[in-house]
Structure 1
Amino acid sequence: MSFEQLGLIAPILRALETQGYATPTPIQAQAIPVVLAKKDLLACAQTGTGKTAAFSLPIIQLLYNERPQGPRRIRTLILTPTRELAIQIAENVRDYSAHTDLKHAVIFGGVSAHQQIQQLRQGIDILIATPGRLLDLYQQGHINLLGIQQFVLDEADRMLDMGFIHDVKRIIVKLPEVKQTLFFSATMPPEIAQLANSILTKPVSVAVTPVSSTAQKVAQKLYYVDKTAKRSLLVHVLKDNSIASAPVFTRTKHGADRVAKELNKSQISASAIHGDKSQNARQRALSDFKAGSIRVLVATDIAARGIDVDNLSHVINYEIPNVPETYVHRIGRTGRAGASGIALSFCDEEERAYVKDIIKVIAQPIPIVEEHPFLPSMSPVDLAPRPAAPVQMRQSSSQQVAARKKNNGNNRKWHGNRQQQHKKG
């Protein structure tokens, strides 16, 4: 199937050709016709499946074909949880709409709102926003949401994880009752499913690349190592010249800063990216990583779905996440759009339980690297997750009585035999 067969118009096809896109991904092939038909959409798809194009391409076409008379007003709202994701979506919208006269703006916190307000005043068709800054500018009277025709809620489960779900609900009640809603989430926990049911009208459901299946196309390797030797192991692994660039994931902001500092001391160019960094610093680090100016981007999980870099060959889990789905999202930074990739994970003794949970979710073993210079004091075989011991079922009261009678009978028989042996002796 081609993009042309999906019914996309010439200006969009020209933009896709410029970007080098020839064949739609599964989520694009399923979602684009639904959106063009102006139906609500419930899509279970994670980052790396091409979902941004799945909603932005048909939205651009709908807006282009139905340009109203008079001044521009916001007709599409795309809500996303992080600044990095908002910027990436805006870049995609810019590229896909290059041969149209549509205008867009992106707003997010952490920077001055002055320039964002100026863009809004000039008139836009598409607004990409994070929840907090959207509410701030709405309350200040800089944003009018009454003309919204399409509402996209992207990364809904991440909104929940980051504590934004209440802001999302506050925004939803400010939107027109009649609109097209496109709901995207990598996972569907009960609270997210309930939210989807409350805002969607007769949606078409699409599910591609379940969270556990991403791991199937990524070659995974597990290094058991003492906690104190992890940084040395990381430097050793990065001596491999085939790792041109790689994101390295930590669990904490402080840990990300510390790892980046140690790598730079070892003459490996690295920058850290996390929530405590200013927006300018975060964007500069991400831009430098994309451009190849730095080799390693050390990130916390808040950025796990916000790193969108083509052709990443490796991902390194410096620390094992305590949520299995987070592991899958992390390694999903490589092996994107059907490409192959390699995920390396460093596990100390305290993280063994996390590995066990991950293996359950991805339903496949993770091969252990049994030879490297920083093997832990315990062997990899000893450290490997062990199957749980069989659970002893509690006996019913009748079973307990029968067991006691049997034991008493056996005891009497044993004592009787012992007495006979004693007499014979």
Structure 2
Amino acid sequence: MKLTKEEYKKMKDRAILNFGKADYRLFFSPSRINIIGEHIDYNGGNVLPCAIEIGTYALVKPAVRDVIRLRSYNAQYYKEVLIGSEFNPNNKWINYTLGMINAISESGYEVGGLEGIIYGNIPTGAGLSSSASLEILIGKIINDLYNNSEISMKDLAVLGMKTENDFIGLNSGIMDQFAIAMGSSGSAILLKTGTLDYEYVDADLGDSVLVILNTNKGRRLVDSKYNERRAECESALVKLKPKFEIENLCDLTEENLEDALSVLDLENERRRVRHAVTENARVQKAIEAIKNSNMEALGNLLNESHYSLKYDYEVTGDHLDAITAAARKAGAFGARMTGAGFGGCGIALVKKDELDEFKKTAGRLYKEETGLEVDFYETVIGSGPCELEVERWEY
């Protein structure tokens, strides 16, 4: 789902119409999926995400003043804001752009105005990190236009998380921004979120493929129980720290999990901790399964992850439960929700030669259960953000 010549020409025509003829520059930032390791990036856990080849494009030029003038090609929305302005809910998606530029400025780097067109092919509300994709896209643009690419991609990921936490008001972890900023073609990233140490893992699944399952049930994280889950984890951590030498919940192991749970007096906190510890252990098991080409074992781990997210972390919901159940009945090795939950997408591990029949059966079962259509996307693991040569479309 890369940018086509037709899409580029439409972006350029819109840019010229709104901002005049200029030497526009074209940038891209991918989306991401998380293979396994959900809701533990803010608990110091290990996660296994990868960048994918759908994402967000920008055709932009510097503005003469410190002003942001960006139009979305996907939605008829335009807002002009000054750099340094405060969060305003009426600014909609421009808040992610403004927050990222403000964060870069507050870190001591140069910033400047932007004019241009934003276009994304990430399904809206699907949980594939469209907001993080936009943040890292803007970070890449500001880095290249105003800082001679001085800011490291790792630092841009940190600034993206700061934007979510401090400007948007969502207490997310760093996984989404890190996976997008540091993406490498064909590889997942084993990210140790407690230290930001990372390594690339060959994501060759042989005769199988990960399929994205879009429930078409959107969600808004700020309005969900995402922040509540993080608060529950932080409360449990405060109670556990005096008893165990830990900085994060995922410093606990499966060996001392039961001892840790006995310290907690609230059932919801025990469930959150159980998920964090067992999910962290599943990440390493999944890496071993991939290395050993054991798709059955990997599928079982995906199933275990989903059940933990459903019963212990309580973030799945009827539509994610329905699509993952349909995927299993349709012959997938395993399936689970991916992303923050409360709607959005799942993933399923499927044999390539059974893919067409899988889609047909899973789609039918899901529609019978929910009345909604499911959209399927085959994953292509891509690289991180980049500037694209416009000449390839200029003919």
TM-score with structure 2 length normalisation?
Answer: 0.24
**Whose relative contact order is higher, 1 or 2, with alpha carbons under 8 Å and at least 6 apart?**
2
Q: Which has the larger radius of gyration?
A: 1
More strand by share: 2
